[in-house]
Structure 1
Amino acid sequence: MFEPRLLPLLDAPPTERRDAARNREALMCAAAELVALHGAHAVTMDAVAARAGVGKGTVFRRFESREGLMGALLDQSETDWQASVISGPPPLGPGAPPHERLLAFGRSRIEITLRHADLIREAGWVGPRSYAAYSFTAMHVRYLLAELGVTGDLPLLATAILAPLEVPILDQQVRIEEFPVDRVYNGWVDLVDRIARPSHPA
């Protein structure tokens, strides 16, 4: 039975020496702490360097740009989330019926997208989340649709299911129009059930 694998994100760093890996982890921790304190939009390379106790040039050598640093933080979050989909507890992880997994996937994806919306913007619209992360989510949704016995053009149906979970649409609905998150999720569930209503509802 096919199950999506944990995908290596684009531009993932090569295997590093132990000391280099420690330095990178220190910079990532410093950046994550600053994002938590001040928001991604306020984090500068100077501030990250100062908090990690290194020169600004070191930060640029490790991540090339501010967008690269934000993208690395986003990669880390995506990798952790992918692991929860692949091997975490059900219903997001394996072990639940495919319809339950699909609904849990949507709830989780809405939450993580809203939580990291600023980080996604600061990493750039054409970044790691747009490529590798989308490939993973699309593969996972297609897998669940196939498990549900859905017929038709599964890649396009998966695209329709995934589109409402991305930053531009969630921004419009939650931040601008001030829809409650539960309303957004329930509307998404309605869409999913119109496409993939299970033969035997739980």
Structure 2
Amino acid sequence: MPEKINGPQSASSSRPRKERADAARNRAAILRAAAELFAEHGVADVSMDQIAAAAGVGKGTLFRRFTDKSGLAVALLDERERELQAAVLSGPPPLGPGAPPAERRAAFATAYLDYVLAHLDLVRLSETSTPGARYRIGAYRFWHRHLAVLLDGEEDPEGVAHTLLAPLAAEHLAAVLPETGAERLRATLDHLFRTAPWAPGPA
């Protein structure tokens, strides 16, 4: 069936539609400084004061725009998430339209896992900054709707979609990655997404 999903959704809905030139320059400088500092020192070891100093902006400017490091994480991830969402909507199969649902689900699992592992600390921060943060962002709703569409006709596509997304949470991946390794994770998720939904057990 045709994919019925809205266009790519940002993880944050707070970005203005049109920025003043000076505000846009400050935003770009802040994000560039944050990305460089996070890459060099790790997310946990970089302070907001350090980011403001490296960006050449006042601390008030930084905090008014992003509030905390989780806001910076969401903004830094936004472009990558939109790229993945665009591939889901209109890219080549099996991630994009044109492949059987099971293949598309498995392709999504692989693509999303690669995305999270490439930005694990940032995704983890964006998802755990406050209780339930992962489930409030627009990107999660997009992923959930995508999987629910690919489960159309099943008894509870929305419930199964939430279940499939659970093991892709950054907190979970960070905890199990040292023990399982990326390739074992990839193979397990491929099987899980291909075989969903699951037959009920014996009564």
TM-score range, shorter chain: 0.7 to 0.9
Deviates more, 1:130-139 or 1:112-121: 112-121
Deviates more, 1:114-123 or 1:137-146: 114-123
Which residues of structure 2 form unaligned runs of 5+?
Answer: 199-203
- Assess, with a 3 A threshold, how the Cα gap between structure 1 residues 43 and 84 changes in structure 2: closer, same or farther: farther
Percent identity between the aligned chains? 43
User: What amino acid is aligned across from residue 31 of structure 2 in structure 1?
Assistant: M
Pairs within 5 Å for 1:18-167: 18-123=21-126, 124-126=129-131, 129-131=134-136, 132-146=138-152, 150-167=153-170
Post-superposition offset of 1:135? 0.7
Q: Tell me if 1:191 matches 2:169.
A: no
Contact 2:95 2:108 in 1 (8 A): yes
Question: Which residue of structure 1 aligns with residue 183 of structure 2?
Answer: 182
Post-superposition offset of 1:159? 1.5
- Assess, with a 3 A threshold, how the Cα gap between structure 1 residues 121 and 180 changes in structure 2: closer, same or farther: closer
Deviates more, 1:113-122 or 1:158-167: 113-122
Contact 2:11 2:74 in 1 (8 A): no
2: CA distance, partners of 1:25 / 1:127: 28
Post-superposition offset of 1:151? 1.6
Post-superposition offset of 1:127? 7.0
User: What amino acid is aligned across from residue 99 of structure 2 in structure 1?
Assistant: A
Question: Which residue of structure 2 aligns with residue 169 of structure 1?
Answer: 172
- Assess, with a 3 A threshold, how the Cα gap between structure 1 residues 9 and 120 changes in structure 2: closer, same or farther: closer
Which residues of structure 1 form unaligned runs of 5+?
Answer: 198-202
Post-superposition offset of 1:152? 0.9
Post-superposition offset of 1:194? 2.9
CA RMSD of aligned residues (A): 2.3
Contact 2:88 2:97 in 1 (8 A): yes
TM-score normalised by structure 2 residue count: 0.82
- Assess, with a 3 A threshold, how the Cα gap between structure 1 residues 83 and 162 changes in structure 2: closer, same or farther: same
- Assess, with a 3 A threshold, how the Cα gap between structure 1 residues 30 and 80 changes in structure 2: closer, same or farther: farther
Residues 107-152 of structure 1 show CA distances to partners (whole Å, capped at 9, x for unaligned) of 1111222222211333315476432221111100011122xxx521
1: CA distance, partners of 2:23 / 2:107: 38
2: CA distance, partners of 1:151 / 1:59: 47
2: CA distance, partners of 1:183 / 1:161: 17
